[in-house]
Every structure is written in structure tokens, then in C-alpha cells.
Homo-oligomer: A and B are copies of this chain.
């Protein structure tokens, strides 16, 4: 019958933890450069210095890898947001700058994120929702412009999001020097400052 025998997950040894980390790192690199669909399980095994058998010992299929990476990124994202909320800088401009810096860093650290979003697992979708989630941005803007309609604030938030994503994209995938990168980020901050201040004032 084999009924109700959901074997408990194995108690991982340190060895296993390291293997898992190596596999995930290799997968992230390959996903980032070749895309999820373009990456074979044996390529991941080779890149991580693992045998194909061991790979499947930890991840039953490629989707499980995507899922695990997405969960990891999701956790990092939420940690980033929590840090941001706790160390709340003073003032509109400083808050904007901190938010932009955090998001740039996140995408530089996790170059595979955009590739995961092409995939359709539930956690990958969750990341996508978080990336375009406007609620907290609206709340933030609302605190600076209490009289403005929520729908209008959503439009502003969407606009800021789009601009930030665009710049992040050219930073992560464009071939820019370090100086060009930071110049572009400064430019972005300046634009967002001007945009938000003007809209909140109007």
C-alpha cells in the first residue's frame, strides 16, 4: 500500500551542504549566461564538479534547482527590504538613494534573477511579483504626499520602478566601466529625486 510514508528529508551533513551550495552556484552561473532552458543537468554537474548521480540526489530535476535558487533570491530580497526598513535613512532623497543602491547591489549579486523570471515556477513568479510590487513604494510616497490619490501614487511608483529597472539592466548586462556605472547610478538618483519631488509638490 505504501500509504502515508512521506520519508523525512535526510539530515544533511556538512558535506552535503557544501555540495548543494556548489551546485546552486554553478546553476546560477550557467542560468545567467545561457538561460534556464539552455542549461543541461550534465553541464551543471560538470561545472560544479559533481557527478550526475549526486546532482540528482539533491535535486530531482531542473525545476527544483530553479525553485531553490528562486527561494534563495526571494529570501535575500526580503532581507534587503527588512534592512532597508530598519535602517530607515532620514529624508526623501536619502531614502530613494538607499533603495536604489540596494536594488542595484541585489541585481549585481544575482545576475541569474532575470533568467529565473522567464521560468514559470511558483517561487519565480513570487519574485516577479515582489519586483513589481508597488504597495510599499506607494506607502512610502504617501507619507511624503498625503493628499494624493492612491491610483496616482501607483502610477508614480510604477514609473520609478521602470526607470530603475532600465538602468539596472544596462548596468548588469551592458559593457560599462566602473566609472560609467556609478555615473549612471548618480544620474538615475538625480532623475528620480527630481521626478518624485516634482510630482509630490504638484
Contacts and interface: CB of A to CB of B under 8 A. Distances in A.
Interface stretch (A19-27, A97-105, A166-174): A166-174
A167 B174 contact: no
Interface in A72-103: none
Contacts of A194: 194-195, 198
Given A166-B165, A170-B165, A187 B37 contact: no
A64 interface: no
Interface stretch (A8-16, A142-150, A156-164): A156-164
Contacts of A155: 180, 183-184, 187
A52 interface: no
Contacts of A158: 170, 180, 184
Oligomer copy total? 2
A109 interface: no
A166 to B, nearest CB: 2
A46 interface: no
A46 to B, nearest CB: 18
Interface in A177-202: 180, 183-184, 187-188, 191, 194-195, 198
Interface of A: 34-35, 37-38, 118, 132, 155-156, 158-159, 161-167, 169-170, 174, 180, 183-184, 187-188, 191, 194-195, 198
24 contacts: A34-B37, A35-B35, A35-B118, A37-B38, A132-B170, A132-B174, A155-B180, A155-B183, A158-B170, A158-B180, A159-B167, A159-B188, A161-B170, A162-B166, A162-B167, A162-B169, A163-B163, A163-B166, A165-B166, A166-B166, A166-B167, A166-B169, A169-B169, A194-B194
What 7 A-B pairs are tightest by C-beta distance, nearest first? A166-B166, A37-B37, A37-B38, A162-B166, A162-B167, A162-B170, A165-B166
